[in-house]
Structure 1
Amino acid sequence: MTSAKTHQYPAVDVMKFVCAFLVIVVHTYPFYEVWPDLGFVTSNILGRIVIPFFFISAGYFMQIGRCHKDENYFRSYIKRLIKLYLIWSVIYIPFGMHKLGSMMEISGALWLAALPIALFNIGTYFHLWYMSALIFAMVFCHLFLKKFSMKALLILGGVLFLFGLIETYHGLITNEILLQSVNTYFLLMFTTRNGLFFGVLFVALGMALADQNRVEAIRHPFAKAAAAFGLLVVEAFTVRHFHWALDYNMYLMTVPFTLYWFAGLLRTRLDWKLNFKALRESSTVIYFCHAMFLELGEILLGSLYLTNGAVRFCFVFPLTMIMTAIIRKWLPFLK
């Protein structure tokens, strides 16, 4: 693992950029009107590997930093994440107010009460949940490892993730008492797509890979990832066919797929003449800023935007890339 401190990981940077692009596809769902199955594959299968990949990547590089840098590394890392999250949360308050205001009437007092809840759970706009989840999962794993082993963390993360799958496999619950308990949870918390049930396992897997250079111990990672992806496709279409899911945020097979795919990318060296740092930075900015154009498209284009996925994508994607370039050049505090 000593060499990990100085290595660059260009394949990971490329994948982060691809994932950022997939986020736009997920949120604009450009294919559903013309080819529903392709829309399902892009938005509810390919798109669902994005967040696990971001989680496992963050866990891996954070663990490397904890092992090779000073003791304050973790604290400064989390402070930076919190600062970035709060800045973007403030930016998205008017967008979030417009989105909620278009769906329901909310008083001023309720807005004030809802703000802290949003910050600690789903974010001031829907895509910001990832940042609060990442911060929670990072802090949770860091504190847990102060008292317990990595093995215990992985087991706990697995148990939490299995509980989180009730959102995907909700239709399989037949026990009336259990069903009422689960529905009460969703009434209060909306989703299991959060740092506790979704983030902890993937962050822990990333940290475990970084420990003692376990990446090298995984043989044929891409072949294993391909097999896991095939099973993921089967899982997703099975869940859809039987109408089990409340939402398609979490799949069981994203765990082995993300683990093996990420391990393979860590070992992949690319000689491409690309600015990989720019790709890495752009992926972060794309994730943060694309959602404002989702909302602006609805305001400016109305029903044309709402009913046509191609229009949504063609509106959001170029404006997001322009804004990303502006932020990278002139607003570095936003990246």
Structure 2
Amino acid sequence: MTNQLSKNNYNAIDIAKFIAAFLVITIHCNPLTSLSEIFNNYFVNTVSRIAVPFFFACSGFFFFKKLEFRNGRIINCKENRKKLYKYVVRIFLLYAIWSVIYLMWQIPEWYLTGWLSVNAFIDYAISFILSGSYYHMWYILYLIFATVFGYFILSFFKKSIVIIIATILYILGMLSYSYFWIDFLPCDIIVIISNKLGALWGAATRAFPLMIMGYYVGTAKHKPSAKLSLLLFSISFILLSAEYYALNTFTSNHESFSYIIFTIPCQCFLFNFILSIKSGKTSAKFFYLRNTSTVIYCLHPMIINLLKLIPHFSDSNSMLQYISVAIISLVLSLIIVKLSKKKVFKFLKYLY
């Protein structure tokens, strides 16, 4: 893959990430409920659930491809460690800043419910480390842990071994998440371990395998053509839909569908298809999309909270709620990214 081709392909990834940010909003807004609860559940648990795994794949591709490898392993040199440190610090600052923002929202809620106390802050601090400071911030926490974990795994093992390790971990993750209902003693033990390890378990069994998949798909020398990738993605998505239906209909799992068997082939072929799209030279507008998608992801729960303060808004049409959240999140995100380019508002860059 030439550098120019890579630059061209990044434009398509930026567009896909931008779209994925709005799919994440659908998970938290359930926009089709007013039309059909069954169809809403299908859309949210299949189409929308592609978004966050796609984010992990992108992160793995962009980070690991910057590192120097030798004989299939990351060279644990000063330059690579510097890149790891810089990336993790940047992501941690993003996580910490947004966590403080959501803490400011939590404090009035704690006061109104009588929960404002030292224990409330201790619980928040524990969640900050073990599960995610707010309900959507788990993604960034997982990303931090998975990046460090992936760096050291790729330092000790060759790529072929890492693929096997990632596959095993993903299977263990499914047994503790989407396939927790299997009545088998080892599965029960895995669920107990996952509950104890919290974000460390999620990072190792969900984020890490998808990051590795994104890196390998993005840097593979031999890849399926764009048409074949699209066809294979379509087939995988049909199978993903069937898997969702089976889990939702015949098991006790009615809500955990983000990481199931056909999530991996769907992401694999989708990511390869998007990488194969040649979309012209890189321009500033695509960087705006990339940065805006991050702000939208981090910001939209706050918009949901604020709109709930409007009398009767929660009783309005679900699609209207979604459109309102999406538009306000988009406008504010564009303003934040735009202002961050000015010297006086440069600090806003830490929001993405």
Give your verdict on TM over 0.5: yes
Question: What is the CA-CA distance between 1:13 and the residue it aligns to?
Answer: 1.1
Tell me how far apart the structure 1 counterparts of residues 108 and 190 of structure 2 sit (CA, whole Å): 30
Give the stretch that moved more between structures: 159-168 or 9-18: 159-168
Change (3 A) 1:190 1:242: farther
- The one-letter code of the counterpart of 1:155 is I
Task: Tell whether the 8 Å contact from 1:193 to 1:250 is kept in structure 2 after alignment.
Answer: no
Tell me how far apart the structure 2 counterparts of residues 76 and 187 of structure 1 sit (CA, whole Å): 30
The correspondence of residues 1-335 of structure 1 with structure 2, limited to 5 A, is 1-3=1-3, 7-8=7-8, 9-67=10-68, 70-71=79-80, 72-97=82-107, 106=115, 108-166=117-175, 167-171=177-181, 173-175=182-184, 177-178=185-186, 181=189, 184-185=192-193, 188=196, 194-210=202-218, 213-214=219-220, 216-219=222-225, 220-245=228-253, 247-271=256-280, 275-301=285-311, 304-305=313-314, 308-330=317-339, 331-335=348-352
Tell me how far apart the structure 2 counterparts of residues 274 and 146 of structure 1 sit (CA, whole Å): 35
Tell me how far apart the structure 2 counterparts of residues 193 and 5 of structure 1 sit (CA, whole Å): 36
Q: Which runs of 5+ in 1 are unaligned?
A: none
Task: Tell whether the 8 Å contact from 1:14 to 1:276 is kept in structure 2 after alignment.
Answer: yes
Tell me how far apart the structure 2 counterparts of residues 99 and 187 of structure 1 sit (CA, whole Å): 27
Tell me how far apart the structure 2 counterparts of residues 258 and 183 of structure 1 sit (CA, whole Å): 25
Give the aligned partner of residue 343 of structure 2: none
Tell me how far apart the structure 2 counterparts of residues 193 and 100 of structure 1 sit (CA, whole Å): 29
Question: What is the CA-CA distance between 1:158 and the residue it aligns to?
Answer: 1.4
Identity of aligned residues (%): 25
Q: Alignment partner of 1:66: what SS?
A: coil
Tell me how far apart the structure 2 counterparts of residues 238 and 23 of structure 1 sit (CA, whole Å): 23
Q: Which runs of 5+ in 2 are unaligned?
A: 70-77, 340-347
Tell me how far apart the structure 2 counterparts of residues 316 and 108 of structure 1 sit (CA, whole Å): 31
Question: What is the CA-CA distance between 1:243 and the residue it aligns to?
Answer: 3.4
Task: Tell whether the 8 Å contact from 2:93 to 2:350 is kept in structure 1 after alignment.
Answer: no
Tell me how far apart the structure 2 counterparts of residues 122 and 306 of structure 1 sit (CA, whole Å): 31
Question: What is the CA-CA distance between 1:149 and the residue it aligns to?
Answer: 1.6
Change (3 A) 1:106 1:322: same
Task: Tell whether the 8 Å contact from 2:46 to 2:241 is kept in structure 1 after alignment.
Answer: yes
Root-mean-square deviation over aligned CA pairs = 2.9
Task: Tell whether the 8 Å contact from 2:24 to 2:52 is kept in structure 1 after alignment.
Answer: no
- Deviation track 1:291-329 (CA, whole Å, cap 9, x = no partner) reads 10111122333x541674224213311211121022112
Tell me how far apart the structure 1 counterparts of residues 162 and 315 of structure 2 sit (CA, whole Å): 43
- Deviation track 1:197-218 (CA, whole Å, cap 9, x = no partner) reads 21010111122234xx316433
Tell me how far apart the structure 1 counterparts of residues 201 and 49 of structure 2 sit (CA, whole Å): 11
Task: Tell whether the 8 Å contact from 1:161 to 1:201 is kept in structure 2 after alignment.
Answer: yes
Q: Alignment partner of 1:194: what SS?
A: helix
Task: Tell whether the 8 Å contact from 1:164 to 1:192 is kept in structure 2 after alignment.
Answer: no
Question: What is the CA-CA distance between 1:2 and the residue it aligns to?
Answer: 5.0
Task: Tell whether the 8 Å contact from 2:12 to 2:279 is kept in structure 1 after alignment.
Answer: yes
Tell me how far apart the structure 1 counterparts of residues 129 and 252 of structure 2 sit (CA, whole Å): 28
- Deviation track 1:57-101 (CA, whole Å, cap 9, x = no partner) reads 111111222139943222211211111111111111133456678
Tell me how far apart the structure 2 counterparts of residues 100 and 126 of structure 1 sit (CA, whole Å): 16
Change (3 A) 1:105 1:154: farther
Question: What is the CA-CA distance between 1:229 and the residue it aligns to?
Answer: 0.8
- The one-letter code of the counterpart of 2:250 is F
Q: Alignment partner of 1:7: what SS?
A: helix
Change (3 A) 1:31 1:153: same
Change (3 A) 1:101 1:299: farther
Question: What is the CA-CA distance between 1:121 and the residue it aligns to?
Answer: 3.0
Change (3 A) 1:231 1:101: farther
How many residues are aligned here? 329
Q: Alignment partner of 2:278: what SS?
A: coil
Tell me how far apart the structure 2 counterparts of residues 244 and 165 of structure 1 sit (CA, whole Å): 14
Task: Tell whether the 8 Å contact from 2:5 to 2:278 is kept in structure 1 after alignment.
Answer: no
Q: Alignment partner of 1:200: what SS?
A: helix
Q: Alignment partner of 1:329: what SS?
A: helix
Tell me how far apart the structure 2 counterparts of residues 182 and 217 of structure 1 sit (CA, whole Å): 35
Give the stretch that moved more between structures: 1-10 or 248-257: 1-10
Give the stretch that moved more between structures: 134-143 or 36-45: 36-45
Q: Alignment partner of 1:169: what SS?
A: coil
